[in-house]
Amino acid sequence: MKPSHTIRPVFDDPNLVSAAGLVPVLRLAESAGLHELLEGLSVDSPNPVAKATSVVGGMLAGADSIDDLDLLRHGGMARLFGGVRAPSTLGTFLRTFTHGHVQQLDAAGGRLLAGLTARVPGLLAGADADGIALVDLDDTIGQVHGYAKQAAAFGYSGVRGLNLQLATISTPIAAPVIARARLRKGNTASATGAGRLLAQTLSTARAAGVAGQILCRADSAYYGWALVGTAIRHNAWFSVTARMTPAVVTAIAGIDQGAWTTIDYTDAVFDEVEDRWVSDAEVAETEFTAFTGRRKAEQVRCRLVVRRVKRIQPLASDGTAQGELFAAYRHHAFITNSPLPLVEADQRHRDHAIVEQVIAELKGGPLAHLPSGKYAANAAWVAHAVIAFNLARAAAIAGDQPRTRWATVRTRIINVPARIATTGRRLILHLPTHWPWADNWELLWATATGPPAAIGN
């Protein structure tokens, strides 16, 4: 591919836009009730609906800082959208948020998810009464630089930043959407507030049409009564990685050697500790009582499922049977109250890693930076990013690209160049000929502008 030497660039066309896909995506948001939900914001700033949708629109098109939101004001964008605000105005808007306003926006994002699932039924496909929905909790550190960032601190990763905790909803056949997210001080413990976050997520899932069984998954940082107790109270299953406490180690050592079942993985699993790909393992289970240090009512009888993988270089043995056992294998244990068969229970738990992909997409998009020095403004930025993420996921489903990642949605659907023409009182978008994903774009347009899907479809 070689550029022509006869090109002369001139920025002089007022009828061109570089992100024509924002039109159907924001129409989809409007039809799902976004504008009505944003009217509930009591933030001390005029026209909060227009400003919030401007922030979301900029994020959908690839903005990862306040200055990048200026991409909404090029060419003919003012003819396609009303109420687009300048980056300086949007920055001031974000800085007017308080903690309470962020919670209002977070709640609006949760209710929007219900509107999107009604508009795009495939968003949570397989979550009907006969299916299963998967709720995953995790957190990550967003690195920041400079000392003007409020609430920044050194957390568990040793990186100075702010802590983002989030919960996703998915099904075995539907990619995850974000139910709730919150920004916290950088040195906040992972499990802090996990019970409340899970309760909000389960309510959001039910409101979004999840009628089947819910399985809540988390890693060992969330191993505790707060998460497990909330799942039990909401009649959900839990699957939480167990910490290697003395009680867990003793339970593993007590498993009979004939109880182990071999698994041959269809796709190899990467073992981060041993820095290698693993193609087989063994699993077993035993009865277990978790949280025996708590009062009787909070002690949980459950299954302890253990997966073990042979070490490449066994540790030096201390000569005891237990020493030999733990020297030769690496053990990965989790507790669960699900009645799933042993191998399936292990598979479902390992699939918790899907939440890492959501975190990666956020950090590859609007959360590449936390753009303000003010903590509440950054928390509001995160809440807008959640709305944008779910809109991008819904747009991918409506465009018949159910497993497409956000960056790919931007490339194929959103950041499509177009020229605006006028006929009578109508605007016409002239899109590129031979666009490889034109059919997907038109499917999204039909969903965004057509009547709601029939009930039961």
Cα 216 from Cα 434, distance rounded (Å): 44
Closest of 132, 112, 236, 115 to residue 174, by C-alpha: 132
Residue 166: inside a domain: yes
Residue 110: inside a domain: no
Residue 422: inside a domain: yes
Co-location of 88 and 198 in the same domain: no
The structure tokens listed for 32 are 């799902």
Cβ-defined contacts of 323-328 (< 8 Å, 24+) = 325/252, 325/253, 326/249, 326/253
Domain-terminating residue out of 363, 395, 415: 363
> How many CB atoms lie under 10 A from the CB of residue 327?
15
The structure tokens listed for 58 are 């900029």
- pLDDT in single tens digits along all 457 residues of the chain: 888 889 999 999 999 999 999 999 999 999 999 999 999 999 999 999 999 999 999 999 999 999 999 999 999 999 999 999 999 999 999 999 999 999 999 999 999 999 999 999 999 999 998 899 999 999 999 999 888 899 999 988 889 999 999 999 999 999 999 999 999 999 999 999 999 999 999 999 999 999 999 999 999 999 999 999 999 999 999 999 999 999 999 999 999 989 999 887 766 666 666 566 666 788 999 999 999 999 999 999 999 999 988 876 655 544 444 455 566 788 899 999 999 999 999 999 999 999 999 999 999 999 999 999 999 999 999 999 999 999 999 999 999 999 899 999 999 999 999 999 998 889 999 999 999 999 999 999 999 998 876 655 4
Cα 96 from Cα 87, distance rounded (Å): 14
Coil vs helix vs strand at 106: helix
Co-location of 154 and 219 in the same domain: yes
Residue 369: inside a domain: no
Cα 427 from Cα 28, distance rounded (Å): 18
Residue 112: inside a domain: no
Co-location of 418 and 295 in the same domain: no
Co-location of 351 and 283 in the same domain: yes
Place of tokens 């995953």: 136
Domain-terminating residue out of 340, 363, 386: 363
Co-location of 320 and 215 in the same domain: yes
Closest of 331, 329, 250, 234 to residue 288, by C-alpha: 250
Cα 379 from Cα 98, distance rounded (Å): 9
Co-location of 167 and 303 in the same domain: yes
Are 18 and 417 within 8 A, CB to CB? yes
Expressed as residue numbers, the domain containing 238 is 127-363
CATH number at residue 261: 3.90.350.10
Cα 15 from Cα 81, distance rounded (Å): 13
What's the domain count of the chain? 2
Domain-terminating residue out of 343, 363, 383: 363
In sequence order, the 6+-apart residues with CB closer than 8 A to the CB of 335 are 223, 228, 238, 239, 240, 242, 288, 290, 300, 302, 303, 304, 305
Are 415 and 25 within 8 A, CB to CB? no
Co-location of 232 and 297 in the same domain: yes
- Local structure of residue 413 (DSSP, 8 states): I
Residue 257: inside a domain: yes
Q: What is the pTM of this model?
A: 0.93
